[in-house]
Amino acid sequence: MKSQARSGGGHDYLPSVIDEWLADPTCHTYGVEAEGHIVAIGNLRLVDRGKTGWMEGLRVHADHRKKGYAKMLTQHFLRIGEDLGVKRLRYTTSSNNRASIKLANMAGFKQLFSMGIFWHENLKATSKNAHVRTTVREATASEIKEIQENNPDLVPQSVLIYDWKAVEGTAAGLRQIGKDHRFYVRKNTEDPKSFSFGHAREDMESRWWSFTIYSSNAREFAAHFRNHLKMALEIGLDATVCTASTQFEKAFKTRHMPKPIRKMQLIMFEKRESPSLKFDMSNDRLTRHPR
């Protein structure tokens, strides 16, 4: 299956979440069936209290690409979103996924913003990060919400990104993130202008620390970044994936910050209009996966 997002080690995350999708009543998981086989799959998840339809995990088997199946699933999710009365459809993809970007444009999605994705591996080789005196402490969701309210330009479009997913930057959205993430802010700061959150991620073959940083300047970004490296090492992880503003790519060029082994951009797409594309589905059929 073709992947929209992979872990730092290049492994597809779908096998680790498919059972969750099928058991979740907020998920609408569909596949394209051709010649008696499922050759493409994707999921539409309701988030933001049903206001947003989140499209994720679109896959097409390598032997069945360039046959319009990704378009077929996209069109179907547009129809489901309209039937469910969501206010918008959203998804993220990588800047080097040309097929996904082309499909977004064809389906009438608009780019909201982009963020940088930075991979670091072999952290134990730079174990000095484990002994850095951190200037960051753990925080609560309510503290993060207050920082957002006091710094409205900190979070683009007031949409929070975590693990290639997104929620509105509301108290409910932070509660969603807080189900498996830990929040962090700077210590002893009267007017904080940064925050971050992270957690341990895993797929069938690897584990890594995934985190997002929202910061107003490079100094605070670096403080949060070093804290997350420290967190990863403390729980025995040797890889991290950081999501942050693209402006902080420059921070990794300083001698105090480790250089990423790989980097790209995450692109956030959104569609608010009614579906406008029509695809011929006469020779194949969409199949709802059983729960």
What is the model's pLDDT at position 283? 43
The Cα–Cα gap between 216 and 195 comes to 10
Are residue 265 and residue 277 in the same domain, yes or no? no
Give me the domain span that covers residue 93.
Answer: 14-108+273-288
HEC string of 216-266 equals CCHHHHHHHHHHHHHHHHHCCCCEEEEEECHHHHHHHHCCCCCCCCEEEEE
Q: Is residue 8 part of a domain?
A: no
Task: Report whether 193 contacts 207 (CB < 8 A).
Answer: no
Q: Is residue 101 part of a domain?
A: yes
Are residue 91 and residue 182 in the same domain, yes or no? no
Are residue 59 and residue 162 in the same domain, yes or no? no
What is the model's pLDDT at position 280? 40
Model confidence, pTM: 0.86
Looking at the 3D structure of the chain, how many domains does it have?
2
What is the model's pLDDT at position 112? 96
Are residue 74 and residue 122 in the same domain, yes or no? no
Q: Is residue 4 part of a domain?
A: no
The Cα–Cα gap between 94 and 17 comes to 19
pLDDT tier, 127 (very low <50, low <70, confident <90, very high otherwise): low
Question: Which residues does residue 27 pair with via DSSP β-bridges, in sequence order?
Answer: 45
pLDDT in tens, 217-261: 999 999 999 999 999 999 999 999 999 999 999 999 988 888 999
pLDDT tier, 5 (very low <50, low <70, confident <90, very high otherwise): very low
Are residue 233 and residue 282 in the same domain, yes or no? no
Are residue 146 and residue 249 in the same domain, yes or no? yes
Please report, as a single letter, which amino acid is at residue 133.
R
Q: Is residue 224 part of a domain?
A: yes
Are residue 63 and residue 163 in the same domain, yes or no? no
What is the model's pLDDT at position 102? 93
Residue 276 has pLDDT above 50, yes or no: no
Q: Which residues have CB under 8 Å from 138's CB, separation 6+?
A: 182, 183, 184
Provide the Cα torsion 84, 37, 98, 86; round to 10°.
0
Are residue 125 and residue 208 in the same domain, yes or no? yes
pLDDT tier, 290 (very low <50, low <70, confident <90, very high otherwise): low
More confident site: 11 or 110: 110
Are residue 123 and residue 101 in the same domain, yes or no? no
pLDDT tier, 273 (very low <50, low <70, confident <90, very high otherwise): low
For 105-117, give one letter per residue: b (16+ CB within 10 A) or e.
eebbbeebbbbbb
pLDDT in tens, 60-90: 988 888 889 999 999 999 999 999 999 999 9
Q: Which residues have CB under 8 Å from 24's CB, separation 6+?
A: 45
Are residue 87 and residue 214 in the same domain, yes or no? no
pLDDT in tens, 137-152: 999 999 999 999 999 9
Are residue 88 and residue 139 in the same domain, yes or no? no
Q: Is residue 1 part of a domain?
A: no
Lowest mean pLDDT among 44-58, 192-206, 239-253: 192-206
Q: Is residue 2 part of a domain?
A: no
Q: Is residue 128 part of a domain?
A: yes
Q: Integer distance in angstroms from the first to the last C-alpha of the chain?
A: 21
| C-alpha dist (Å) from residue 251 to 76, 101, 177, 190, 255 | 42, 28, 26, 24, 9
Over its C-alpha atoms, the chain yields an Rg (Å, rounded) of: 20
Q: Is residue 5 part of a domain?
A: no
CATH number of the domain residue 92 falls in: 3.40.630.30
Q: Which residues have CB under 8 Å from 225's CB, separation 6+?
A: 213, 242, 244, 251, 257
Residue 205 has pLDDT above 80, yes or no: no
Are residue 81 and residue 135 in the same domain, yes or no? no
pLDDT in tens, 85-112: 999 999 999 999 999 999 999 999 999 9
Residue 4 has pLDDT above 50, yes or no: no
CA atoms within 13 A on the CB side of 18: 13
